[in-house]
Amino acid sequence: MYIKKSKSIALVILFLAALSVSFYSVAAMPLTDSSQYQPLIVTGHYDDDIKRRPLLGLSTDEGATWSYPMDITHSSLPQPFYEGELVASACSDALCIAIGTYSDKVTKRPLLALSSDLGITWSYPQDINSKLPDSFKFGWFTGSPNCSGTTCVAVGAYLSNKKYRPLLAVTRDAGVTWSYPEGIVAPDFPEEAMLYGASCVGTTCMAVGYHYPGTTYPLLALSKDAGATWSYVSDSALPAPFYREHFSGGVSCSEALCIISGEYDNRKKPWPLLAVSKDKGETWRYPSEITKSALPPHFMRGQLTGGSSCSGTLCIATGYFSDKTAERPLLAFTNDAGETWTYPNDIISNLPPSLLSGKFNDSSCNGNTCVAVGQYSDHERTRPLLGVTTDGGVTWTYPPEITSPVLPTPFIEGGLNGVDCKGEVCLASGWYYYMDRIRGNTYMPLLAISNNKGLTWSYSFSAVSKDVLPYPFFGGSFKGVLSSSITTLTPKSLKSLFDIAKRQAIQKSIVH
């Protein structure tokens, strides 16, 4: 939590008293749901008038209050540090990572922050830079990282010998050590190749992206030993006609069910692409409904590059498409573990009447709730867009409190970049900007939250007020929300870790 040293002792006492109340309320909760003891994390960047810094917001009380750990913004940053940002995060039990990129003023480097106590304290492991491939020139982490058990995977790309190559960092000991597996970074691709997302289920991990041997092909890397060894998997079951294809929408798994989304070139037009596996990535198929029979009316071109998510047998993949008049949000849906797919009519028919164009950037499913977020433009401005189902995909709506609220007076435009649902809470993050009399257009982080599984929503402006944001703060935005959160612990065990982390937060706040 960011607390200036000049604060009075009285404020520290009030802070401790507030925490003690928080402890009491948590202890009084029935130990039936682990999600209430898992952190909510949002990532992005902010400007402190000198440089751009990584931004990470943390809530340990289901979104009621937020803090911004100083470990992320100042004390633990790799040196030399010029500017940087965080774009996504993932957790497994008490283990969390956040990934992005930073510049040391000479080159761009991958950035990874690590927490072993539910996000209370953070560090930047030295292995991430010291063990980079020898031929590394510059690179970054992007897309969706993933953690399962003591294994975490982060993916991206790096420049080597004038070619972009896949980058993948893995830890198998809860962040103590990190490595870049030879099976990923060693193969010499003819042209460029990149990775966009990762997912782990048990001891099986996969990473997806694209490579370019004359034309763009999907790229899939698989590990069956919790990230120890990796190999690239070839797949010839591509949709026809095929020209260019890539998995830029990432990968999502629920037990043995996995989906990968993206786009391919169908007669020089971008077309939705989706692959389904029911055996943890061993075999894949491309449902014809996605590319042909189920397409929305007047479909001309489109792609599923806005992220995908699975929960049980329910999966969605999101993006956008163009008809004869506008660019519109696109959402593919299955409730039978990928056997059949549809593009729900509600996604189009229930759009805000004033929409001129719009798209989805991210999605998340939990139980019967699925949420897709993005932005849309009307005759006046760009606005946040959020579509939700709370009945397993039977109906979809756009809550007016998100898409057409009376926003604060400074608000000019805004959008949503990331979303995550777990337990009762769904959290969406993004940006808005307003006109500052001195600095002109100023970007600010934006948070929307639901505490009843997506039924009702509200904007949490207190979470991004100047009272809690890092100081000095001259604008910023959120890029992503916790992209995956897995717990194998019982609620009682996770609560024990939660209480320990809270006590550490008290001690750290007193010191700072």
- Mean pLDDT value across residues 215-241: 81
- Mean pLDDT value across residues 407-433: 89
Look at residues 420, 369, 416 and name the one whose alpha carbon lies nearest to residue 397. 369
Cα separation values, 435 from 4, 48, 148, 439, Å: 28, 18, 43, 8
As a whole number of angstroms, the distance between CA 189 and CA 133 comes to: 15
Give pTM, 2 decimals: 0.87
pLDDT score for 496: 64
CATH of domain 1-234+475-512: 2.120.10
Q: In what helix (H) or strand (E) does residue 17 lie, and over which residues does it extend?
A: helix 9-28
Cα separation values, 211 from 61, 185, 317, Å: 42, 13, 22
Radius of gyration of the chain from Cα atoms? 22
Place of tokens 């997912």: 199
Cα separation values, 194 from 3, 32, 216, 353, 466, Å: 40, 41, 11, 39, 38
Percent of the chain having pLDDT more than 90? 61
132-147 confidence digits (pLDDT tens): 999 999 999 998 999 9
pLDDT score for 3: 33
273-305 confidence digits (pLDDT tens): 899 999 998 888 999 888 887 889 889 999 999
pLDDT score for 502: 62
pLDDT for residue 350 is more than 60: yes
250, two tokens: 């990432």
Most confident of 24-33, 331-340, 402-411: 331-340
β 151-160/217-223 pair status: unpaired
Residue 84 vs residue 217, higher pLDDT: 84
Report which residue type is found at 339: E
497-506 confidence digits (pLDDT tens): 666 666 665 5
pLDDT score for 40: 93
132, two tokens: 């980079």
**Sheet of 231-233, strand order:** 193-201, 204-211, 217-223, 231-233
194-224 confidence digits (pLDDT tens): 999 999 998 999 999 888 877 778 889 999 9
Neighbours of 487 (CB within 10 A): 18
pLDDT score for 18: 34
pLDDT score for 38: 79
172-199 confidence digits (pLDDT tens): 999 999 999 999 988 888 788 999 999 9
154-167 confidence digits (pLDDT tens): 999 999 988 999 99
pLDDT tier at 491, thresholds 50, 70, 90: low
CA atoms within 13 A on the CB side of 80: 8
Neighbours of 117 (CB within 10 A): 19
39-77 confidence digits (pLDDT tens): 899 999 999 988 999 999 999 888 999 999 999 988 789
β 476-486/83-92 pair status: parallel
pLDDT for residue 362 is more than 70: yes
pLDDT for residue 398 is more than 50: yes
pLDDT for residue 348 is more than 90: yes
As a whole number of angstroms, the distance between CA 242 and CA 239 comes to: 6
pLDDT score for 418: 95
As a whole number of angstroms, the distance between CA 411 and CA 195 comes to: 36
Q: Which residues contact residue 257 at a Cβ distance below 8 angstroms, ignoring those fewer than 6 apart?
A: 276, 277, 278, 310, 313, 315, 337, 338
- Pair 56, 98: CB distance under 8 Å: yes
pLDDT tier at 379, thresholds 50, 70, 90: confident
pLDDT score for 425: 94
* Three-state DSSP class for residue 302: strand
pLDDT for residue 19 is more than 70: no
